[in-house]
Amino acid sequence: MKLITRDTDYAVRILCYLSGKKERTVVVEMVRELKIPAAFLRRIAQRLSKAGILTSAKGFNGGFILSAKPRDIRLLDVAEIFQGSFSLNDCLFKRRICPDRKTCFLRRQILDIEKYVLEKFTSLTVGDILAGGSIDGQKKNNQDRRE
């Protein structure tokens, strides 16, 4: 089971890479550095752009650039582009099988987990990922708190 799908994964990489850039960056360059299949990377960049996370420019000096600072790009927003909204309890009502969803204990537990994931993914930003990767430590507090 995957919490993060490949597209999201690639998207995060792309965003991390672009965090180090001040100017627009072209797909071929990203491909060179990130080793992601070109056509796929392009489509991902396009979706990020459409979602407003990247800003793009066509034509000669075109390319992609972050629309916001790394620490203002939340993992949740990125993940939702590719994986839809995070709702973990598709479990039952969809097909109306659970006898009584109001009192369903299992459902409450899953909602709890969902809440936890949501909090993590909301507080986690591209900036955090970058900082955690190189600097390490100290960054732990802002997500060690639930509710």
Partner DNA sequence: ACAAATGATACTAATATGATATCATTACAT
Partner DNA sequence: ATGTAATGATATCATATTAGTATCATTTGT
Binder of residue 7, out of ligand FES, DNA, a copy of itself, none (CB less than 5 to 8 A by kind): DNA
Return the residue of 49, 89, 122, 123 that touches ligand FES, per CB under 6 A: 89
Pick between residue 102 and residue 146 the one whose CB is nearest to ligand FES.
Answer: 102
Task: Fill in the DSSP letter of residue 46.
Answer: H
The 9-48 site mask, x for binding a copy of itself (CB under 8 A), equals: x--xx--------------------xxx------------
DSSP notation for 97-114: --S-TTT-HHHHHHHHHH
Site string for ligand FES, 99-118 (x = CB under 6 A): --x--x-xx-----------
- Verify binding: residue 92, ligand FES, rule CB under 6 A: yes
- The structure tokens listed for 29 are 């360059």
Interface with ligand FES, residue 39, by CB under 6 A? no
Structure tokens of 4? Answer: 């993060």
Asked if 106 touches a copy of itself (CB under 8 A), the answer is yes
Measured CA to CA, the distance from residue 61 to residue 145 in angstroms comes to 44
Q: How far is the CB of 136 from DNA (least distance, A)?
A: 28
Q: What is the rounded CA–CA span in Å between residue 37 and residue 34? A: 9
SS3 of residue 81 by DSSP: helix
Contact between 19 and ligand FES by CB under 6 A: the answer reads no
**Closest listed residue to residue 34, CA positions, set 53, 55, 18, 54:** 18
